[in-house]
Amino acid sequence: MAYKHIIDNDRCKGCGLCVTICPKNVLEMSEDVNSMGYFPAHQARPDDCIFCTTCCIMCPDVAITITKVVEETEASEQ
């Protein structure tokens, strides 16, 4: 099962708390600068996410949400 992290790049100030707290090292800091001049976090390894939501809880800017990715085989079975 895969999960997609939706990170609001304009809200993220690049503090790195989400990267540090993630038990599976799913997130990394981006090499691209956002509109505020910060390096926001991004989802580097989506398949490793265990949906613990610790990154969402830790984010002081409430810039992260996680959604479940429905794979094509699951969608066709329903």
Alpha-carbon distances, residue 49 vs 30, 32, 55 (angstroms)? 18, 22, 11
Q: Are 65 and 55 in contact (CB under 8 A)?
A: no
| Structural domains counted in the chain | 1
Q: How does pLDDT run across 31-46, given as a tens digit for each residue?
A: 999 999 999 999 999 9
pTM of the shown model: 0.82
Query: Confidence class of residue 70 from pLDDT cuts 50, 70 and 90?
Result: confident
CATH, residue 46: 3.30.70.20
Query: What pLDDT shows up at residue 71?
Result: 72
Domain limits at 16? 2-77
